[in-house]
Amino acid sequence: MAWSRAKFKGQRVWAEVDADGAPLAVAGRIAVRYSDKAGATIYQAGAGRVEPEGSAPVDLPAGAAAPDAPLPAPGAVGNAAPAARPSGRGSGFGSAGTRTAAQAGAAKTAATAQVAAAAGAIRCFTDGGCTGNPGPAGSGCLVKFPDGRVVERHRGLGFSTNNVAELTAIAMALDELDTAGEPPESVAVVFSDSQYCRGVLTQGWKAKANVELIAGLRVRLKARPGVTLQWVAGHVGLPENERADELARRGVEESRRRGV
């Protein structure tokens, strides 16, 4: 992922940016790091408090995601050990099925704003699931092109895990970009409700499983500098996300019919 110089609380930081160099906000927060060295701790800062300097985006070595950790006090910058990986609660939106009305409203507002901000780009919505984990699994993706074309795909994965299904859905979206002949610089946003996918693909989380699948996706994303991956809260009534979920469940049903 690309990074650019910015200021946060009076200190210079590196902020995560999109292909155009704009700060990449997810659920009102921007990933920031104080060091450009490998293993630097990556924090989540309030988007309104990050001031871009407008410098050219650069690629930096992978850091250690610490999205739930408090930001260090001024002068206390260092490569602290990574905190626990985020759950749905880490976003402030709660988890699907247990959200309060206020959390659900905030999650939908944030997701809708993220999708609207990607107007003019190719927008890809992905989801994966399984019955049991592991169990019969499926993936789905919906790709909306700026010219109005909409492509929907689903795939039964047989007996697999939820994480594999989520990763495969992202791969399917990239497949559609390839099939459409989109050049590497084409601007596209892939929306996923999987914190795991965002972590292992863009936040430097170490892959302990699904290593080959993750490595392949990292290579494909690097080869497409115009593509960014954004996390959105799942099951908040965002039509495209709900459709991706339906497509994934169709894949699960295919797997079940095959008797896996």
Among residues 18, 176, 245, 254, the one annotated as catalytic is 245
Among residues 68, 92, 152, 235, the one annotated as catalytic is 235
Among residues 128, 156, 204, 226, the one annotated as catalytic is 128
Asked about 127 being catalytic, the answer comes back as yes
Write down how long the chain is. Answer: 260
What's the CA gap between 154 and 195, in Å, rounded? 21
And the tokens for 219?
């290579």
Phi, psi of 113, rounded to the nearest 5 degrees: -65, -40
The closest of 210, 199, 178, 189 to 82, measured between CA atoms, is 199
- CB 141 within 8 Å of CB 124: yes
Helices 162-179 and 195-202, packing angle to 10 deg: 60
Among residues 176, 193, 240, 254, the one annotated as catalytic is 193
Asked about 245 being catalytic, the answer comes back as yes
Which residues are paired to 8 by β-bridges?
Answer: 11, 50
Asked about 36 being catalytic, the answer comes back as no
HEC readout, 199-233: HHHHCCCCCCCCHHHHHHHHHHHHCCCCEEEEECC
Among residues 18, 127, 176, 182, the one annotated as catalytic is 127
Asked about 235 being catalytic, the answer comes back as yes
Q: Which helix (H) or strand (E) holds 43?
A: strand 41-46
The 10 Å Cβ neighbour count of residue 143 is 27
- Supply the residues annotated as catalytic: 127-128, 166, 193, 235, 245
